[in-house]
Structure 1
Amino acid sequence: MRDAKRNLMSLAAVVFLVVAFAGRVPQSISAPLPAPAAGSDLAGSIESAVVARACELIRQGRFDVAGELAKRAYAGSEGQLTGAPRQLVQILDEYEEIDRRRRLAREEAYTEALAELEKLKSEQAEDVNDVNDVNDLTEALAVIAKTGEFADSEQKVRLMSDAFVEETVRKAIDKAAEFEVRAKWLDAYTNCYYWLQAIDPNNEGYSDYADHLLDKATLAMAFEDSPCETSSERFAGVKKEMFTRAVDFLDTRYVTLVDYDKMGAEALKRCELLAEVLSSSARFADASQSGESSSSIVVEGILDSQKVAVWSAALAELKSEVKEASEGSGAFGRKDFLRIFEKVLTLNKLTVGLPETVLVSQFAEAALSALDPYTVIIWPKQIQDFEQMMTNEFMGIGIEISKRKGLLTVSSLLLDTPAFHSALDAGDIIEAVEGLETKDMSLSCAAKKIKGRAGTKVNLRVRRVSEDKSIPDKVFDITITRDRITVPTVRGWQRTTSGKWLHMVDEKNKIGFVRLTSFSGDTAPGLEQVLDDLESQGLRGLILDLRWNTGGLLDSAVDVADKFVDEGVIVKRKPGFGRAPIYDYESAHSRGTHPNYPVVILINGSSASASEIVAGALADEKYERATLVGTRTHGKGSVQGITGYLRDRAQLKYTMAYYHLPSGQRVESKKAMKEQGRTDWGVAPD
């Protein structure tokens, strides 16, 4: 009987997660779960077999099959059902109703989007809307993407073969090409290829070209001054010795043999792109004519076509040299790579004359990206932001901000912070910080402007949009004193008016809900407090939400998993090349283990690193402590270390090991699996 009740409790939690995934939260999942009757035993009975099989089907995501099984088994006797069978039917009936509402909502959303698309078609026919105009084009692309989002497979085929849609897509491709000729790469991405990817996410041509545009736009923006820093300040403190020491360190400490020819190829490719972006950028061309520049970096040689040609030709020769060496009998090693690096620095001085700090930074970034996305140099200018990210602590006012339609918006207020105790509210638009307009300010720049030393003040101009269009928006100035802020990583499903998180999402069934946003030093202690509180209320099942949790500290992840496993390995790390191939183990401890109630973990493609360790360990076949619901995780699969070997306040974050789950299987990297044409990266849901 205990196993049947445990299965039903897990089932109730899974059904809740289906609702939570759709963004809807019911008042109750099902009827209250009764306590097991003393001495009862359903083992071997038909009822027990039906319940067990239905629960297994639910775990496989086969809700419809489970429903059919229950209907056949209990046909004609629904009114006489009691105990576990009755509860099973109630839960499946509720899921069926939830699914019906979801399908109805999708159909309504599709009909609404399709009507909007038809309106655009008629406006174009009447010359009211012109998809040749970039604003009208972007609007049309957005409506097409929205329609496709809610379309089923047959509707999607009809949508993509529609003449208006085909014409709009073609014009978007043409418009992007026009933008690129004018060195407006960001416009080409935001107005065209962002939406083309949304319309057809499986089109590799769209995704590859979008990456190409973003690479160029990112390079161009690196040379623009912002309200937060000049482009010269951005590269301050960068030294070539930092990169050479990083290469020396990685030669024996990286997780695998370093692929120097691949590093060289990527670095030289970036150097070529640098010259192309800077020489074709309208910002630099305009500056040479007007005498005004949006960049404090002066690169006179980049405007000399002859010098650019020499630079490009020499880079092509170096690329050939790297390719020939890698394909020949002799290996292309560390010394060969560093020799190429020195040649590029010398070539730069003789031709285009990029500031060495800029060239070193870009060369290093591209070279290390060839290894993996997580091995990077943290330059002196970036150290403070990096440390704040790792500790979840900073000096500021305690708000989370986002850009909505280009407007700097307060997403939420952190509890018991200066912002929480001020007149500021979620949804407010911050129009200016210290008199500087935020409309064209990047999110990171705005955050830097709002942050500052504890005890100092920051002045904000705020707009509160009126819900009643007949009443004008409220615009006001507010001054807030900064303080030390710790970002909470443990959250609930809803907040009270006083700002307190609620964690018991289903009072009748006593199902708790905890969302972890990252893994910091405070995460495990914070979770412990919540679990103790929930258990004092009679917790009978837990939902742990790790969606969009990109990771954090390994020790924190181990401490979280340790709360649900009383003994055994949580994660194994296989060290890198150059060290003894002996696994490092992180194990569970019996002290502090919480009761064995069902746990369901929500995961998605943004659950990475430490999230994958927790989800993978608890769902591992060795323990089967949790059921995973959602989509396959990000697929990071590696552990990073940090070293100050580079000196002068620079640090190197590098991949030092791969991690393996308790049963021994490795969590595969998404990048590596995609290169092999495979899709089995990360941790898969149950």
Structure 2
Amino acid sequence: MQKLYETSQSISFQSQEKEKVEAGYQEKIDGYWLTSLADLAMSADLAKKTGVPATIDPARQEEIVRKALEIAKRWQEQGKPQETYGRIYRYLLFLDPKNEEYEKTAQRLLRQAILISMYVPDPNQDSVSWQERREGVSFDIVQTALNITAAKYVEEPNFQEMTEKALECCRIIAETPQLGVTFEKIRDPNAAQSYAAKIDELITQVKAAAPEQIGYFQVLQYLGYVIGINRDTLQLPLNVLMAEFTEGAYSTLDGYTYVIWPGDVTEFQKDMTNEFAGVGIVIKKKDNYPAVDSLLEDSPAQRAGLDADDLIVAVNGKSTANISLEAAVRRITGEAGTDVVLTIDREGFDKPRDFTLTRDWIVVQTIKGLYRDEQGEWQYFADPEEGIAYVRLTNFSNETTSRFRNLLQQLQGQNMRGLVLDLRNNSGGFLSTAVEIANSFLSGGTIVSTRSRNNEITGEDKARPDNLVDGRVPLVVLINGISASASEIVSGCLKDNQRALVVGTRSYGKGSVQTIQTIRPTQAQMKITIAYYYLPSGRRVHRNPQDKDSEDYGVEPDVAVELTGSQMIEMEKLRRDAGILHQNGSDKDTAAARTVYTAQEILKVDPQLRMALLCLKSRLLAEAMGANPALEEVLAQSKNKQK
């Protein structure tokens, strides 16, 4: 008997080892095919942008796609929607953006990943609970939001499509077994199947209806039907069901129109305004703890002696091990004037030390230079000898205009002869701020106009001479595929008015205007697109998401400079490192090890910035010689394109 037991144990051990080895090999094989898929997608995207055909064997491409789909099927069976979307379907859509099956599967996987992230707690991580995020969700909020949408949305809402998508999102809940950890009835196959079947009946009804039969009131009726089905089957909390129904409905619109639930309002306002009550640090994850990535200027953290790379091992005495960054932010931030104790571990410390900081109102700076010097001050001249300055705007917030104009005047006093305005990766901000920034370089002419539903003109902003700061300095604006909204207003208007040369890649194509409305008497808010904006040339830069072949969107650069994936990664890493704010001084307890970069090092990894400087130097040289035929030709070509 003992011999039989030992033999069975040996076989079991060998079987476990074999499974482990096989899983390891399978992971390596999967990694090879998925790396090939990513390379294939990036090559196809670069070929599309540059117009140079990718030299890829069609048979090899077909094999890579086939293998990727096999892995996707296996991963979906294993319950890995986030990995399947992020590593497979995202790239498949790069290769074949019109493939409806890819698009449908990608949307479902993404929705499942969002549901799991929201409702399934990670046992290895302390994060913000779904109960906090969904607190205050109510039927009245949904009703008011739909009413606002019917009256104000920039297009006539398709309520039939909104209802169908809302129902589909509710159905996906039953198709996501991981949610059974939180919602017990999802583990009951009879309840899940009954719920899904009844939702399918509703979807069939909606599809069969005439579009004019479904208005916003009917959307609410179908929400009521779903609530009844849920009561008899899955018994999900009503706030969860209403939130998922609503988010599904609004996913059919432009992506910028949605409800901000009461539990999300504080974080939303912080993102919108770049202002919050806290201690003034940017945090990252390091060794399973939050750590200081960078200090913010003139903040409680800087004054208290915190430094970049400090490990935050506790907040108010509570350990931060395995805490999510979102949860860490919520613990550290709070009302201005209140204290928070951060326990800091740092190289050179014998043991962690407590730092007591008084929270203050923090305004995140949106204006950056090329790099920080040893004292932590931004350096704004990319070429001091030629007098070429560099200014980067990361967002168009309330404080941007005054700081930007003050900086321009400061640079003028330092004999600035040319300026590079970097709007790359700037996704926008306030329309009024964009108008003011553009007006800083213009003495007259149209900056932007807006039109609402039915193409009705709702506003037009013109440059005013009294707002001009510098109408003569040669100007180059840098943009890329993430430059959007307010960035497109500034770059497009300066291009159309022939005030600046635009360098980089085509911008994102978000030419829409949003307004934010509180849904009273609750704290919930509604962000809704109410208009499209048009450049001085009359072009609408907004990209039609339904027309994936169109190249008529965004701002097209006068001088196109494409970057490879590796170039973008290298450039962004150095740019980020060059902007980290450390403590001043050489005391090992208060100053982390740092590298001070030079303009030459940054230019070396940034081909677009190098091109911008070349254009400005050419302009300055030509002006010194009395003519600038090369630049005049580029501007003439730009003007002809606009006609």
TM-score between the two structures when normalised by the length of structure 1: 0.69
Counterpart code for 2:406 = Q
Letter in 2 for 1:182: Q
1:132 partner SS: helix
Match of 2:262 in 1: 380
Contact 2:310 2:344 in 1 (8 A): no
Q: 1:300 to 1:634 in 2, by over 3 A?
A: same
Cα distance in 2 for residues equivalent to 1:438 and 1:215: 29
1:221 and 2:117 matched: yes
Assess, with a 3 A threshold, how the Cα gap between structure 1 residues 187 and 369 changes in structure 2: closer, same or farther: closer
Please give the alpha-carbon distance, in whole angstroms, between the structure 2 residues aligned to 1:432 and 1:238.
32
Tell whether 2:483 aligns with 1:588: no
Give the AA of the match of 2:387: K
**Once superposed, what is the RMSD of the aligned Cα atoms?**
3.5
Report how far residue 487 of structure 1 moved: 0.4
| 1:432-443 aligned within 5 A | 433=315, 440-443=322-325
Q: What does 1:509-658 correspond to in 2, within 5 Å?
A: 509-576=386-453, 581-593=456-468, 594-620=470-496, 623-658=497-532
Cα 1:615/1:131, change in 2 over 3 Å: farther
Matched position secondary structure for 2:382 = strand
SS at 1:193's partner residue? helix
Paired residue type of 1:259: N
The 3-state SS of whatever aligns with 2:116 is: helix
Tell me which amino acid in the other structure corresponds to 1:213: L
Q: 1:364 aligns with which of 246, 250, 254?
A: 246
Partner of 2:170: 271
The secondary structure found in structure 1 opposite 2:73 is: helix
CA distance 1:160–1:129, shift in 2 (3 Å): farther
Residue type matched to 2:118 in 1?
A: A
Give the drift of 1:132. 3.1
Aligned to 1:591, the other structure's residue is in SS state helix
Q: Is the 8 A contact 1:604 1:634 kept in 2?
A: yes
The code of the aligned residue for 2:112 comes to K
Choose the corresponding residue for 2:366, options 489, 496, 516: 489
Q: What corresponds to 2:88 in structure 1?
A: 193
Measured after TM superposition, the shift of residue 660 of structure 1 is: 0.6
SS at match of 1:681: coil
Q: Counterpart in 1 of 2:341? A: 458
**Alignment-mate amino acid for residue 651 of structure 1:** Q
Q: Which residue of 2 aligns with 1:345?
A: 227
Q: Say which is worse superposed, 399-408 or 268-277, in terms of deviation.
A: 399-408
Residues 104-503 of structure 1 mapped to structure 2, 5 A cutoff: 132-134=25-27, 137-138=30-31, 141=34, 157=55, 173-189=69-85, 192-193=87-88, 197=91, 201-204=94-97, 209-225=105-121, 227-277=126-176, 280-281=177-178, 284=180, 287=181, 295=182, 299-326=183-210, 330-403=212-285, 408-428=290-310, 430=312, 433=315, 440-454=322-336, 455-462=338-345, 476-481=352-357, 482-503=359-380
Q: 1 CA distance for matches of 2:300 and 2:59?
A: 54
Cross-structure match for 1:504: 381
Give the corresponding residue for 2:607. Answer: none
Contact 1:415 1:500 in 2 (8 A): no
> 1:503-526 CA distances to partner (integer Å, 9 max, x unpaired)?
122111111111001011110101
The question of whether the paired residues in 1 share the 8 Å contact of 2:194 and 2:233 is answered with yes
> Match for residue 18 of structure 1?
none
CA distance in 2, matches of 1:429, 1:171: 42
What is the CA-CA distance between 1:413 and the residue it aligns to? 1.7
Contact 1:242–1:647 (CA under 8 A) maintained in structure 2: no
Whether the 8 Å CA contact 1:396–1:451 is kept in 2: the answer is: yes
Q: Which moved more, 1:402-411 or 1:563-572?
A: 402-411
Alpha-carbon distance between aligned partners in 1 of 2:289 and 2:477, rounded to the nearest angstrom:
34
CA contact (8 A) 1:430 1:463 kept: no
Alpha carbons of structure 1 residues 370 and 448: separation in structure 2 relative to 1, 3 Å: same
Residues 485 and 511 of structure 1: is their aligned pair in 2 closer, same or farther, counting only changes over 3 Å? same
Assess if the C-alpha contact under 8 Å between 1:552 and 1:609 holds in 2. yes
For the residues of structure 2 that align with 1:209 and 1:343, how far apart are their CA atoms?
26
Give the TM-score taking structure 2 as reference length: 0.73
Tell whether the 8 Å contact from 2:133 to 2:261 is kept in structure 1 after alignment: no
Question: 1:569-612: per-residue Cα shift (whole Å, max 9, x none)?
Answer: 211111235xx923311221101312311111111111111111
Contact kept, 8 Å, 2:111 with 2:169, in 1: the verdict is: no
C-alpha distance 217-477 of structure 1, shift in aligned 2 (>3 A): farther
- CA contact under 8 A between 1:176 and 1:193: conserved in structure 2? yes
Tell me the matched-pair count.
525
Cα drift, residue 568 of structure 1 = 2.3
Question: What is the CA–CA distance in structure 2 between the aligned matches of 1:173 and 1:457, rounded to whole Å?
Answer: 50
Name the aligned partner's letter for residue 545 of structure 2. K
Q: Deviations over 1:298-331 (max 9, x none)?
A: x34323322222221221121111111136xx54
Q: How far did 1:369 drift?
A: 1.6
Instruction: Tell me how far apart the structure 2 counterparts of residues 496 and 631 of structure 1 sit (CA, whole Å).
Output: 30
1:570–1:662 contact (8 Å) kept in structure 2: yes
Do the aligned residues in 1 keep the contact of 2:388 with 2:417 (CA within 8 Å)? yes
Unmatched tracts of structure 1, length 5 or more: 1-126, 288-294, 465-471
Provide closer, same or farther for how the CA distance between residues 404 and 609 of structure 1 changes in structure 2, counting only shifts above 3 A. farther
Post-superposition Cα deviations, 1:259-278, rounded to whole Å, max 9, x if no partner, equal 1111011101101101211x
Identity of aligned residues (%): 35
- Report the 3-state secondary structure (helix = DSSP H, G, I; strand = E; otherwise coil) of the residue aligned with 2:501: strand
Could you tell me which runs of 5 or more consecutive residues in structure 2 were left unpaired when the two chains were aligned. Answer: 1-19, 559-643
Aligned twin of 2:552: 680
